[in-house]
Amino acid sequence: MNTQDHTAKAPNGAGSFCIPRAALNALLDAQATAYEVCTYLVLARFTDSSGRFSTASISAVNRYTGANKVKGGTVDRAHQRLLTIRAKTTKQVSSGRAGKMVEQVIDLGPILYTRDAWHQATGEIFPDGPHERAKVLHVLPDFEELQEDRIWFGNNLVTGVKTFDQPLKSLKNAGDVAARLLLSLYAVNDMETWGGVRPVGKTWGPWHHYEPVADDNSLNTVGRLIRAKDNGPVASIAKTITGDNGAYFSALSALESSGLIYQMVLVLNRNAIKSKFSSGGEYSAIPEDAEPLYELDCRSQHGYKPEGEEGIGWATATTAGGLNVSVALPGGQFDGTYAAIVSKGHPAMIAGIYRLRFRVVNPKNAGVKGAWAGIQQRNKEALELVNRIRATCKLPPITPPSANIKQKPVAPADTSDFSDCPF
């Protein structure tokens, strides 16, 4: 979030912005279209430090989404509908019968006001800037949510970076389901614990199940090696996103292929538990108390692996090959199979989670520095274990081909120019 108008560049980078959970839920409940989601995000991107007063105009929405600028067109219609979407919450109230409580829906009001409508409703004085382009044009109510409880985005989701200059154009083109899905992924992003979209808990996002391809291999008395192959995504599909399973997974694929999200392959500290899809097929599920042990790989479909996010899958694969249990097909072809090495007797499983590309990453923000330090420390310790096991197996030690194992407090350069969040 920053105080610059939509023509200025923040002196410390692109910054971050947030939206209330109540507004996000209202967009999902209203089955917001891609244009409506993108329009709201642009307006939110150019709010002041309170997250309420926006200097962005409809022309800014057109520019960042690559939309047709025809008056009365798709963006204008999206803007008009946003003015009618209302946030709601629920609370428990007495039913009038002893000990009996019922849920009551509370209308919190619109998620968006024009300048004139807000002034008429409240009489509030606007914090306009010194020139016309710093004039407040919209108000996004915060519904009295604490800023640390809101949903946070990196400004570059709207304004883009050199290698991805119009992310919202990609999101708009991916369609309505993809836009709602992306919002839902931001709502369950948990970098501190998971380093990405949370795959377990009361609310969780999609993840990839990796199924064993062979029995575990004992590595002398020190460790064990497990091999598993990507068998596709697992998801709990909310009706607010779509009622069509096929549309959901197509949207997930669109977000991944466009580069808005990417998969991180992790080793977790629990054994998988067998579960069943609604279709009856079995898969290796993640236990509720599982946590990451270390990262194996970044599987980005957008043409590159972010620096510092490569994981140590190269080390485990090299070790597996040296022990004649290769994870590659003849000729070295990769088929989605990974090797994980853990201490003997310790539970472990392989799973893939999603990481948001345009997230808050500046180490001055709450939790960010600790999250990245933890990821790099776990990878460093895992590589040390691999080398101890290699020594017991009479294999020479290996060192990282790059500096990806060194502790780093920040994410890759093209997503790290974010200024401070206010908490």
Q: Is 367 exposed, middle or buried (0-12, 13-18, 19+ CB in 10 A)?
A: middle
Supply the pLDDT for residue 306: 81
Which range scores top for mean pLDDT: 109-113, 146-150, 160-164? 109-113
Tally of CB atoms within 10 A around 271: 13
- Exposure class string for 200-221: b at 16+ Cβ within 10 A, else e: beeebbbbbbbeeeeeebebee
386 or 71, higher pLDDT: 386
- pLDDT, tens digit, 9 for 90 and up, residues 264-277: 999 999 999 999 99
Q: Considering only CA atoms, which of 240, 18, 20 is closest in space to residue 108? A: 20
* pLDDT of 151 higher than 90: yes
Of the listed ranges 95-104, 174-183, 236-245, the one predicted with least confidence: 95-104
Spatial CA neighbour of 103 closest among 111, 114, 89, 92: 92
The larger pLDDT score, comparing residue 139 to residue 161, is at: 139
Poorest-pLDDT segment among 224-228, 253-257, 300-304, 414-418 = 414-418
- Average pLDDT on 399-412 reads 53
Read off the pLDDT of each residue in 319-337 and give the average, rounded to a whole number: 89
- Given this model, what pLDDT does residue 235 score? 97
Distance of CA 317 to the CA centre of its chain: 27
For residue 366 the two structure tokens come to: 């709450």
**Phi, psi of 196, deg, nearest 5:** 165, -155
- Structure-token pair, residue 93: 């109230």
State the CB neighbour count (10 A cutoff) for residue 282.
11
Given a cut of 90, whether residue 171 has pLDDT beyond it is: yes
> How high is the pLDDT of residue 421?
30
| Predicted local confidence at residue 12, as pLDDT | 42
Question: Tokens 């068998």 — which residue?
Answer: 231
Inter-residue contact 199 to 233 (CB < 8 Å)? no
Per-residue pLDDT averaged across 273-291, rounded? 95
Q: What is the pLDDT of residue 329?
A: 85
Distance, CA of 383 to chain centre: 26
The amino acid at 148: E
> pLDDT value at position 243?
96
From the list 214, 157, 162, 180, the residue with the least C-alpha distance to 356 is 157
**Hey, what amino acid is at 146?**
L
Q: What are phi and psi of 389, to 5 degrees?
A: -70, -40
Helix/strand/coil (H, E, C) string of the chain? CCCCCCCCCCCCCCCEEEECHHHHHHHHHCCCCHHHHHHHHHHHHCECCCCCEECCCHHHHHHHHCCCCCCCCHHHHHHHHHCCCEEEEEEEEECCCCCCEEEEEEEEEECCEEHHHHHHHHCCCCCCCCCHHHCCCEECCCCCCCHHHCEEEECHHHHCECCECCHHHHHHHHCHHHHHHHHHHHHCEECCCCCEECCCCCCCCCEEEEEECCCCEEECCCEEEEEEEEEEEECCCCCCCCCCHHHHHHHHHHHHHHCCEEEEEEEECCCCEEEECCCCCEEEECCCCCCEEEEEEEECCCCCCCCCCCCCHHHHHHHHHHCCCCCCECCCECCCEEEEEEECCCCCEEEEEEEECCCCCCCCCCCHHHHHHHHHHHHHHHHHHHHHHHHHCCCCCCCCCCCCCCCCCCCCHHHCCCCCCCC
84-98, 208-222, 359-373: range with highest mean pLDDT: 208-222
Q: What is the pTM of this model?
A: 0.89
Closest by CA to 303, choosing from 154, 405, 164, 156, is: 164
**Orientation of helix 58-65 relative to helix 167-174, angle to 10°:** 80
Q: Among 48-62, 96-110, 263-277, 392-406, which is the least confidently predicted range?
A: 392-406
The whole-number pLDDT of residue 331 equals: 79
- Residue 372: the pLDDT is 86
Structure confidence at residue 364 as a pLDDT band (50, 70, 90): low
Min mean pLDDT across 88-92, 108-112, 117-121 is at 88-92
Residue range 373-399: mean pLDDT, rounded: 93
Q: What is the pLDDT of residue 339?
A: 97
Residue whose C-alpha is closest to residue 23's, from 160, 153, 202: 153
Q: Is residue 183 predicted with pLDDT exceeding 80?
A: yes
| pLDDT given for residue 303 in this prediction | 63
Cross-strand partners of 79: none
Q: What is the phi/psi pair of residue 103, to 5°?
A: -90, 130
